[in-house]
Amino acid sequence: MKYFPIFLATEGRRIVVSGGGEAALAKLRLLLKTEARLSVVANEVIPEIEDLAAQGRLTLIRRAMEPGDALCAALFYAANDDDTEDARVTRLAQADGALTNWVDNLEHSQFITPAIVDRDPVTVAIGTEGAAPVLARAIKADLEERLPASLGVLARVGKAFRSVAEALPMGRARRAFWSDYYFGAGPAAFDAAGEDALAETLDSLLAQHLGQTEQRGRVTFVGAGPGDPELLTLKARRALHEADVVIYDRLVTQEVLELARREALMIDAGKEGFGPSVAQSDIDALIVLHARAGAHIVRLKSGDPTVFGRLDEEMDACASADVPFSIIPGITSASAAVASIGQSLTKRDRNSSVRFVTGHDMKGYAEQDWRALAQPGQVAAIYMGKKSSRFVQGRLMMHGADASTPVTIVENASRRDQRAIGTTLATLPDAVTGLTGPALILLGLAPRAAETFAQTYEEEIAL
Ligand code: SAH
């Protein structure tokens, strides 16, 4: 760490900016959020800075910088957009004892200003030591999206309530209270009735949490998506942040698992079609066991939990054990697969319905409405179809499907090793042999021909 991040107390302190143009104004906009006394030293200033001086928000010294101008200043910014002048004023300010920043000149700066996410009093500073401003901006955008705009107000009001909330036992109970406030009841009350509603919300929320004599476990069934962690919903990420226990399937990727709370207990329920597996009944029992112990369980299922995920059995297990549960949907692999080949699942004048089918079920190869699927123009997303591809091919041809019907197999959809294989019904079984990753078979669809499309998508994933 070449630069050490700190938060500087600015109340009553001086910050001096040399320069009167756009670069200076950009810094002033940030500095005006602080409680520092601001001085601008410049021969010429743009009208916006003049207005700020007229409003008394800063002191304008209308001349070139002189020795002593930065005396007693905590920070100094050289923002003249002129290397000779910036070098000169930086030397003067250093002689005056101020810490100096030369705007856009990392090498000659004693400190740098981070990218800032402002939810005052919650402030996030992001720095990359100048290595990747694009990355800093991306992280900033990501955080801005994730932190509700009302967070600052919530934090200010919440801070005053901290000692009252100590009525709750330390640890999970208190964490649950604050989490409810910051991400549930708080934002809801703020959106409905503004800041004034928060005090009352805190009171009733506390009463409610104190009333829960024993922490009740709960289960959130969460869609982990097809693999790319950026395809998780914000709700899924939040649930992972809050989980006490995460029970995950074999197809959930490492990148997604890494987003779980660090203290969470991670349990691999590696269920695998046709292969060695943890029995479904064992998974159901595991969920109930941890829920009864009061844990918040995140049951992570690949793709969307409602698609071929045996969700109903797990929900039934919760219901019969009186464990509350909810579902956070995810992006199913069929969606990721068609996106990867630049096609849609439905298309006007081609197919007005699409079927999600499974290659096998608990009894073996799964029977479908083959007659309907064999019609020209039909589209089906076949899950778990690798082992049953010959069976599917045979059934479809038997019902009159054209052997030249396009079929695309997408292996590892949304992952780095994603691969799309365009084939036809005639050669489907050969095309799946040797595939090792999870694969989705898109019946009735060929990959889009345009090269540019595939390339753009690959690059995005590589980022
Ligand atoms: N609930 C999941 C499906 C679980 S069944 C979902 O909504 O996607 C498991 C099957 O899903 C696999 O056999 C495979 O056909 C498909 N699958 C899951 N992840 C995939 C991926 N990243 N790429 C291609 N197919 C995938």
Considering the domain architecture, whether residues 348 and 317 belong to the same structural domain is answered as no
Residue 447 sits at φ, ψ, to 5 deg, of -65, 145
Between CA 142 and CA 137 the distance in angstroms is 9
448 and 349 in one domain? yes
Radius of gyration of the chain, Cα coordinates, nearest whole angstrom: 30
For residues 61 and 168, membership in a common domain is answered with no
Catalytic residues, by residue number, are 249, 271
Query: In the prediction, which pLDDT does 454 show?
Result: 57
Residues 84 and 30 in one domain: yes
Q: Given ligand 1 and candidates 221, 232, 249, 251, which is best to mutate, with the most ligand atoms within 8 Å of its CB?
A: 251
User: Among the atoms of ligand 1, which is closest to the Cα of residue 309?
Assistant: 1
Q: What is the CATH number of the domain that holds 70?
A: 3.40.50.720
What is the bridge-based pairing of β-strands 99-102 and 122-126?
A: unpaired
Residue 77 has a pLDDT of: 98
- According to DSSP, the residues that pair with 220 across neighbouring strands are 298, 326
Strands 245-248 and 296-301 turn out to be: parallel
Contacts of 384 (CB under 8 A, 6+ apart): 273, 308, 358, 359, 360
SS3 459: helix
Residues 185 and 278 in one domain: no
Residue 368 neighbours by CB under 8 Å, 6+ apart: 355, 357, 395
52 C-alpha to center of ligand 1: Å? 58
Residue 122 lies in a domain: no
CB 327 within 8 A of CB 306: yes
Expressed as residue numbers, the domain containing 161 is: 151-210
Instruction: Please give the pLDDT value at position 455.
Output: 45
- Tell me the CA–centroid distance for residue 340 and ligand 1, in Å: 14
Residue with tokens 């009553």: 12
- Of ligand 1's listed atoms, the one at least distance from the Cα of 332 is 7
d(CA 334, CA 344): 10
Compute the distance from residue 303 Cα to the ligand 1 centre, in Å: 6
Closest C-alpha to 211, from 167, 250, 157: 167
* Token pair listed for 436: 């090792």
Asked if residues 415 and 339 have their Cβ atoms less than 8 Å apart, the reply is: no
Q: Which helix (H) or strand (E) holds 141?
A: helix 133-146
The pLDDT of residue 453 = 63
Alpha-carbon distances of 369 from 25, 298, 355, 408, rounded to whole Å? 68, 35, 10, 20
Segment 183-188 long-range contacts (CB within 8 Å, at least 24 positions apart): 183/148, 183/238, 186/150, 186/154, 186/158, 187/148, 187/150, 187/154
Instruction: Confirm whether 138 is domain-assigned.
Output: no
Residues 239 and 298 in one domain: yes
Number of domains in the chain: 4
Q: Which atom of ligand 1 is nearest to the CA of 330?
A: 7
Query: Would residue 141 count as lying in a domain?
Result: no
Residue 53 neighbours by CB under 8 Å, 6+ apart: 40, 45, 59, 60
Q: Which of 63, 85, 113 is the last residue of a domain?
A: 113
For residues 452 and 359, state if they share a domain. yes
Give the Å distance between the CA of 216 and the centre of ligand 1: 32
Q: Are residues 314 and 340 both part of a single domain? A: no
Show the ligand 1 pocket: residues with CB < 6 angstroms: 226-227, 251, 301-304, 307-309, 332-333, 337, 383-384, 410, 412-415, 438-440
In sign, the C-alpha dihedral spanning 143, 144, 148, 150 is positive
Residue 405 lies in a domain: yes
Q: Looking at the structure, do residues 237 and 310 belong to the same domain, yes or no? A: yes
Question: Is 119 part of a structural domain of the chain?
Answer: no
Looking at the structure, do residues 188 and 290 belong to the same domain, yes or no? Answer: no
Contacts of 19 (CB under 8 A, 6+ apart): 40, 42, 77, 78, 79, 80, 81, 86, 103
Tokens for 225? 């998506």
Asked, for residue 109, whether it belongs to a domain, the answer is: yes
Whichever domain contains 291, its CATH number is 3.40.1010.10
> Which of 91, 113, 135 is a domain's end point?
113
Residue nearest to atom 13 of ligand 1 (CA): 384
Question: Within a domain: residue 18?
Answer: yes
Distances (CA, A) of 48 to 63, 126, 183: 17, 28, 38
Last residue in a domain, options 331, 360, 394: 331
Q: Are residues 366 and 427 in the same domain?
A: yes
Candidates 64, 10, 80; CA nearest to 38 is 10
Whether residue 311 is found in the same domain as residue 347: no
pLDDT by position in tens, the chain (length 463): 899 999 999 999 999 999 999 999 999 999 999 999 999 999 999 999 999 999 999 999 999 999 999 999 999 999 999 999 999 999 999 999 999 999 999 999 999 999 999 998 899 999 998 888 889 889 999 998 888 788 899 999 999 999 998 888 777 788 889 999 998 899 899 989 999 999 999 999 999 888 775 667 899 999 999 999 999 999 999 999 989 999 999 999 999 999 998 889 999 988 554 444 678 888 888 888 888 878 899 999 999 999 999 999 999 999 998 899 999 999 999 999 999 999 999 999 999 999 999 998 888 899 999 999 999 999 999 999 999 999 999 999 999 999 999 999 999 999 999 999 999 999 999 999 989 999 999 999 999 886 666 544 444 444 3
The answer to the question of residue 215 being in a domain is no
Q: What is the pLDDT of residue 452?
A: 62
